[in-house]
Amino acid sequence: MRIITLFALLGGLFTSLTADEVLRTSVKFVKLGKELEVKVRFENISDRPVRVYFIENPIFNSFQSAFTVVHKDGTKSFIAEEPQPHGYVVTESDFHLIAPCHSKTFKQKIGNVTLGSGSNPAGIEWEYSNTITKWEGGIETLDGKTEALFGGKEIPYIWTGRIKAAAKIKPH
C-alpha cells in the first residue's frame, strides 16, 4: 500500500494516512470538442479535515492537474492549456479545506483541443498532485513579492501526494 502524507496539526503531531483513508478523486466528462470540459471532485473520506491546494484556472494549474484522453485503440492524447509563467498570485483561497465526509467539485475547461483526424476518444484520465506543505513567501516574481500564507508555517491539514481518476467519454 503506497503511503500518501496528510500533514495535519493535531496536538502538534503530523499524521500520515494512506490515500484510500483520506482523499478520493473523481472526474466527470462533460464535453469534448474544441474544448475539453470536465468536473473534477475531491472527496474527503476521512474523519478529519483535509486541505487540497488547487488553483481553479487551468492556465495556472498545469503543474497540479493533468488530463489525458484515452482513445479506443489504446493511444493517449495529453490535453493542457498553454502554461503561463506569471499573471497569477497564489492566495490562501487556493487551499480548499474539505470537512470530513464532504467533497468539493471544480469545473475545468481546457481550450484549443486537437486530437487529430480519425481519433476515437473513449475515456478521460485525470491526475492531481501536490507537494506543497508550506508557503513562506518573500520570493520576487514578475507579479511582485509573494506573501507568506498560513503565517509561513506548515499548512494545516494539507494533503500531499499523487492521485488519479478516470471516466468514460459518452458519445453525443
Residue among 21, 5, 41, 20 at smallest CA distance from 157: 5
Q: Span 60-88, mean pLDDT?
A: 83
Please give the Cα distance from 102 to 71 (Å, whole number). 33
144 pLDDT band, cuts 50/70/90, is: confident
What SS3 state is found at 19?
A: helix
117 pLDDT band, cuts 50/70/90, is: low
Which residues are CB-contacts of 146 (< 8 A; sequence separation ≥ 6)? 89, 90, 135, 137, 138, 139
Q: What is the DSSP letter of 82?
A: P
Q: Quick check: 110 pLDDT over 50?
A: yes
Q: What is the pTM of this model?
A: 0.80
pLDDT tens digits, one per residue of 1-60: 233 333 332 332 333 334 557 899 888 878 877 788 889 999 999 999 999 999 988 888
Q: Where are the domains of the chain?
A: 3-168
* Cell numbers given for 147: 506573501
What SS3 state is found at 92?
A: helix
CA distances 86 to 62, 66, 69, Å, are 13, 19, 27
Per-residue pLDDT at 63: 83
Per-residue pLDDT at 116: 62
